Amino acid sequence: MPYSLIAHTGVQSNGDNGTTPAVDSTSADFIALGAAYKQGVAITISDNQANAFTPLTESSSLGNNAGRLYIVKRPIVGANHTFSVTSTGGLCSLCVAVFKGSLVDGPFDSGFESGNVVSGTTIQPGSITPRVNSLMVTLFASGAADSIDSGFIITDTEPTIGGVCYGSTLAYKIKQDAAAENPTWSAPSAILIARMASFKATLPVRTGLFLLFPANP
């Protein structure tokens, strides 16, 4: 069964802390969260359902902003689900996407992750060749992106607020083939950061007819 998007939300922190508007995550089985924040400052990601968020790899721009994806498999869900960041001077923003259709025992494909940092107006996170029936999630951790190509869909954009928070943008693509993906984010000129990861979908249920013929005695 392919993935489907259940809900999405985001928040700009006040420089230290922030909490998203509530969403209905009922029926979801996977959460992907992207965070942009100040490099070297510890941030804590949490929600009001007591889920534990697993951090993936960080990319940073040499002393300025940083970006990272966080995931939750088999999350506790609910009708008024909020997500929060706490820090001291973390300058953080969050974008959150909640999905149904993951391979709940282990959706993250170890090694199926990429990241990049460039100076310019476009950035690619790095090519990933996913499995068939997968979810690709990419984070732009350098403010409000203008666009992304290759059929990726932007869920949320949280613009940069100078001296308050680094901005972020999250996008996804539901895959039903094993073609490589390396989308291009476009944005105003800056030091750009992008992360991407691939997540396995639920295996299709196979059905069939079985007939048993008794042997002659």
* pTM of the predicted model over 0.85: yes
pLDDT value at position 32? Answer: 96
Composition of the chain by helix, strand, coil, percent to 5: 0, 55, 45
d(CA 155, CA 9): 8
Tell me which of 49-58, 117-126, 131-140 is least confident: 131-140
Phi and psi for 189 in degrees, rounded to 5?
A: -55, 130
Tell me which of 75-89, 92-106, 111-125, 197-211 is least confident: 197-211
- For the cut 50, the answer to whether the pLDDT of residue 27 exceeds it is yes
Note the pLDDT tens digit of each residue in 133-165: 788 899 999 988 999 999 999 999 999 999 999
Q: Which sign, positive or negative, has the C-alpha torsion 35, 38, 39, 41?
A: negative
pLDDT value at position 52? Answer: 97
d(CA 132, CA 116): 24
- For the cut 70, the answer to whether the pLDDT of residue 210 exceeds it is no
- Looking at every residue in the chain, the average pLDDT score rounds to 89
d(CA 64, CA 87): 16
If you search the block for the tokens 């992207």, which residue do you land on? 34
pLDDT value at position 41? Answer: 95
Nearest-5° angle of CA 102, CA 107, CA 108?
Answer: 145
Note the pLDDT tens digit of each residue in 16-26: 999 999 999 99
Query: How would you classify residue 121: left for phi > 0, otherwise alpha for psi between -120 and 50, otherwise beta?
Result: alpha
Q: How confident is the model at residue 206 (pLDDT cuts 50, 70, 90)?
A: very low
Instruction: Count the Cβ atoms, other than its own, within 10 Å of residue 163.
Output: 7
Closest CA to 181 of 194, 167, 168: 194
What are the strands of the beta sheet with 43-47, ordered from one edge? 18-19, 83-87, 43-47
Q: In terms of DSSP bridges, do strands 18-19 and 54-60 run parallel, antiparallel, or are they unpaired?
A: unpaired
